[in-house]
Structure 1
Amino acid sequence: MSPSATSSGGVRDDAAADRLAAAPLPETEVSAVVSGIGPRLRSLRTRHGLSLQQLSDRSDVSPAAIHKVEQGTMVPTITTLLKLAATFQVPVAHFIGEVEAPDSPVVYTPAKQRRTRTEGDGDVVVGSISAESGPFDLAASVTEIGAGARSAEDNRHPAGESLVHVQSGTLELTVGRQVFRLTAGDSLHFRSEESHSWRNPSGRTAKVVWVSLPERRA
């Protein structure tokens, strides 16, 4: 179930609220649930190619708090979990172990079920085309970038790879000190941790496939 807005402008997850009102779990089960939150959060963040600061900017949760939750040194409040769930467009249950990886390493997502989100001033629409859960590391999206839209000047993501393929329109990508002007059919493959930025210099929307693959930790 997707989070829904409350009258105060926050985000509410009815299933999570019901669980909070239920009988308390045994201490061993509580420990198991809490210990699983950090790895699930880090997996979501890296699959979306976000740094701690970028996730903080989107969720209004401090980078230090996100880091502590991922490392298991801080138990997040329900408010923090709701903010993070809303940012990734997943139910709070995703963090507490009630969303299991599918038995089969195959996830089919019909077009009408694809999750989308807007960024910037609403001139960037990101539509996820990769699975939201399962035994996967790769994250991919079809992104529509409005005329004149641009990213921050210095984007840095966790170590890994990024692949950008322009389906239509024009996208200018700067990686390090190199500037690349991509048009329909062009692609660019680069290390995600390299400083990079992008902008749409044209007067029409650019449609781009963006793929991110974080490095696995040993």
Structure 2
Amino acid sequence: MDDDVEELLDGIGPRLRRIRQDRGLLLTDLAEATGLSVSVLSRLESGKRRPTLDLLIPLARVYRLALDHLIGAPPTGDPRAHLTPHRADTRTRLNAVVVPLTTYPGRLQVFKQILGPSPDQPVRVSHAGHAWFYVLAGTVRLLLGDTERLLRPGDVADFDASEPHWFGPADDKPAEILHLFGPHGDRVGQ
């Protein structure tokens, strides 16, 4: 086996652990969702077990990621966009993984966000611009001014971002949203 393939295989375990932790999941949560045992998942993440398709496919389904992203495969010349998730800036007090879907500075910004449970009390923020999000999965708690709303898959929030607001999962399970920001929203999550 060549060195590049060996290096790719060695990096899969730590990548899988980082993805799980970024989504706020415990090994027991992941085991329940995938049907794989906690010990198999632990050995896979620690590099003590080689990744195989029968292990990676259930993980890709639960994480809603393509296999090439899940394993960190090198670019192949594929013309599709290869999205790069990152952890939201902790100053936003939002436990989230952010996936930028557009890269147009100074224009409308679109992100997919996986919102993890937040240990802190919600802190409302305000900033210039307009915010819009669509709930893809889970239940999102939105605090906007003096009101509180629970939003479920298919629900939309549309508001002036200068009004104090906070949003996150309504319970201890992650939620996913498609988030659009007005021209000044490119600062959020960066």
Q: TM-score range by the shorter chain?
A: 0.3 to 0.5
Normalised by the size of structure 2, how large is the TM-score? 0.48
